[in-house]
Structure 1
Amino acid sequence: MRAFIFPGQGSQTVGMGKALAEASAVARAVFEEVDEALGQNLARLMADGPIDTLTLTENAQPAIMANSIAALRVSGVDVGKADFVAGHSLGEYSALCAAASFDLATAARLLKLRGQAMQAAVPVGEGAMAALLGANLGLAREIAEAAAEGDVCSVANDNDPTQVVISGHRTAVERALLIAKEKGAKRAILLPVSAPFHSPLMEPAARAMEQALADVALADPAVQLYANVAAAPVSEADEIRRLLVEQVTGMVRWRESVEAMAAAGVDHFVEFGGKVLGPMVKRIVPEARVTSVVTMDDIDALVKEI
């Protein structure tokens, strides 16, 4: 069995999609449709930078989605070749676009809004996120609880058995950096992000997404989605709509999602548009086969394989 998976924020790089666009009219059409939907030249920003502007949440989110969908469409591989789709945080929107729950333009507009709403939810400098390396979910929760001291500090991403991300008020997250070392985490690293994603502080962004999602056409996906906050397969549009709202403040249960897909029989994970999730998958399910699809060579190899 096979799952198509889609990366989240942090996978953006200057030059992303440029070679695909130069080699394929299909890729160019994807980037042109996203540019038209957003009313901006995102493709040029992706190709040429600057990285600071590309990394802005409102740009990075639709850019990463566009790059993933371009890689999928250039491959010509039908989503029906997958038994499940899944994405990490914003990658869930890429997965739903791939599975025809909503169209490309809708995905782009939703992610632009999602990025803007997440940034606006907390004043710059008041929130932070940190990666705890060598810490499992239980230890990360213990560290976050000890660091909170009345502030918000909670687990944002359970990525794999050795990497968990916490999020919340900057003062609490900074306390967590010290507590993590005392409690045995190998490293604790403050992440270069501008807001405390996937924490209760994102509640205003969740309400903005609830309103936005209520107004868009959302179909049942062609392939079941393993949802971030449920770590379980969902196939009904209304349930997906609800979970996308919950995802804004909820924990990304990536480790559990991969474990559940593997338990369901998935032994091949294909990551479109990045090489970020593949290593996580291998740390979660070492025996799994992982294919990362970014370049034309990757696409050629995938087509031969599938």
Structure 2
Amino acid sequence: MIDNLFTMFPGQGSQRAGMAGHLLREHPRTVGRVLAQAEEATGLALTDLCTTSPEADLAPTEIAQPAIVATSLAIYEVLREEAGFRPGAVAGHSLGEYTALIAAGVLEAGDALRLVRRRGELMAGVSRTVSGAMTALMGMAPERIEELCAAAAPLGVVEVANYNEVGQTVISGQSAAVEEVGRLALEAGAERAVPLKVSAPFHCSLMSAIEDEFAAELERTAFHAPRLPVISSVTGALVRDEAHARDLLRRQLAGPVRWVDVLTAASAYGVGGYLEVGPGRVLSGFANRTVADAPVRSTNDERRIAALLRDLRPQPVATAA
């Protein structure tokens, strides 16, 4: 049996066609219930979107966000119901923070999915009014990237959006300024500059235009005190209480994701390992490259989930003959 796992929930970009198809086949009762609940909360055909729809149908941010949360929540519920899983602490990468707050009892699943649906709609609205872009820069110190963003500011908004790991930082903003920082970074010795396939400039000040409207949605939603430690991707520190959680979700829209700080904070807890719960393996990759001497696992496919369920279940105690 394994316990005290730091449990990480992924964000946008982890979606893929059929990402919950194997889940529904192997765990129909639990996964069917979660997807039905998600459909009721969002008004979207999430069972089809998460199991049989082509990847293009998942691309719009207002679809991708609830689909990822629904799939991550379905996996979490399988682990909880079939193996009694309880994390030692939780965190989510941007969007994934909503799933983390569900796991910690801060948000009810239906409320979180409703918020995520509205979050995606508002973000999509920004993309229709701003020519935005995001680029991942590899092999350059984040402090140097911050300097390059300042140098390119005359061309428009460009800011650090994600501090993912020591060797990967994502920038976001207006297209011309983002492109210029990518060019400057390569000239200054960055290993790579990879434009991301996103529909909006997430986690930069361009998103501040939707903060007030989303804050009103948050105020209408019930929040509760965390029942287990939640490390916020906004601050890299613990979520203190329900009011703090609500404020962090507002600040998250235009603020950077501080994932390096999240992993550093988690390591201070002496966790027994790191577990990514959701589609994809991006966060487990960050953990593998950031945290030394700790097991890292994911739930990217049925084989990994089955192995994890075996290891999570209490082992029978041997008795003397």
Say yes or no: does 1:213 pair with 2:218.
Answer: yes
Say yes or no: does 1:57 pair with 2:57.
Answer: no
Say yes or no: does 1:13 pair with 2:27.
Answer: no
- Partners of 1:121 and 1:210 in 2: CA distance: 16
Question: Residues 155-202 of structure 1, C-alpha deviation per residue, up to 9 Å, x if partnerless?
Answer: 000000111000011110011121011111101111111111000000
User: What residue identity is the alignment partner of 2:69?
Assistant: M
- Indicate the residue corresponding to 2:154 in structure 1: 149
SS of equivalent to 1:135 = coil
- Partners of 1:176 and 1:217 in 2: CA distance: 41
SS of equivalent to 2:230 = strand
Do the aligned residues in 2 keep the contact of 1:74 with 1:299 (CA within 8 Å)?
no
Displacement of 1:305 after TM fit? 2.2
- Partners of 1:266 and 1:209 in 2: CA distance: 34
Say yes or no: does 1:166 pair with 2:161.
Answer: no
Question: Residues 49-70 of structure 1, C-alpha deviation per residue, up to 9 Å, x if partnerless?
Answer: 2322211101111111111111
Which 10-residue stretch deviates more, 142-151 or 268-277? 142-151
User: What residue identity is the alignment partner of 1:73?
Assistant: E
Which 10-residue stretch deviates more, 82-91 or 145-154? 145-154
- Partners of 2:151 and 2:300 in 1: CA distance: 41
- Indicate the residue corresponding to 1:255 in structure 2: 260
Structure 1: segments with no counterpart, 5+ residues: none
SS of equivalent to 1:130 = strand
Which 10-residue stretch deviates more, 228-237 or 158-167? 228-237
Equivalent of 1:299, from 298, 302, 305?
305
- Indicate the residue corresponding to 1:286 in structure 2: 292
- Partners of 1:188 and 1:117 in 2: CA distance: 28
- Indicate the residue corresponding to 1:266 in structure 2: 271
- Partners of 2:275 and 2:59 in 1: CA distance: 25
Which 10-residue stretch deviates more, 177-186 or 49-58? 49-58
Do the aligned residues in 1 keep the contact of 2:284 with 2:297 (CA within 8 Å)?
yes
Do the aligned residues in 2 keep the contact of 1:122 with 1:202 (CA within 8 Å)?
no
Equivalent of 1:38, from 37, 42, 45?
42
Say yes or no: does 1:116 pair with 2:121.
Answer: yes
How many percent of aligned residue pairs carry the same amino acid?
A: 38
- Indicate the residue corresponding to 2:89 in structure 1: 84
- Partners of 2:134 and 2:88 in 1: CA distance: 33
- Indicate the residue corresponding to 1:98 in structure 2: 103
- Partners of 1:62 and 1:168 in 2: CA distance: 24
TM-score, normalised by the number of residues in structure 2? 0.91
- Indicate the residue corresponding to 2:191 in structure 1: 186
Question: Residues 264-289 of structure 1, C-alpha deviation per residue, up to 9 Å, x if partnerless?
Answer: 32241111113110010111113221
SS of equivalent to 2:162 = strand
SS of equivalent to 1:225 = coil
SS of equivalent to 2:50 = helix
Larger radius of gyration: 2
- Indicate the residue corresponding to 1:2 in structure 2: 5
User: What residue identity is the alignment partner of 2:12?
Assistant: Q
TM-score, normalised by the number of residues in structure 1? 0.95
SS of equivalent to 2:152 = helix
Displacement of 1:122 after TM fit? 4.1
Displacement of 1:9 after TM fit? 0.6
The number of residue pairs the alignment matches comes to: 305
- Partners of 2:200 and 2:252 in 1: CA distance: 15
Do the aligned residues in 2 keep the contact of 1:121 with 1:203 (CA within 8 Å)?
no
Equivalent of 2:31, from 22, 27, 34?
27
User: What residue identity is the alignment partner of 2:53?
Assistant: G
Displacement of 1:147 after TM fit? 1.8
Do the aligned residues in 1 keep the contact of 2:5 with 2:275 (CA within 8 Å)?
yes
Do the aligned residues in 1 keep the contact of 2:50 with 2:71 (CA within 8 Å)?
no
- Partners of 1:150 and 1:42 in 2: CA distance: 40
User: What residue identity is the alignment partner of 1:35?
Assistant: E
Structure 2: segments with no counterpart, 5+ residues: 313-321
Across the aligned residues of Structure 1 and Structure 2, the Cα RMSD in angstroms comes to 1.5
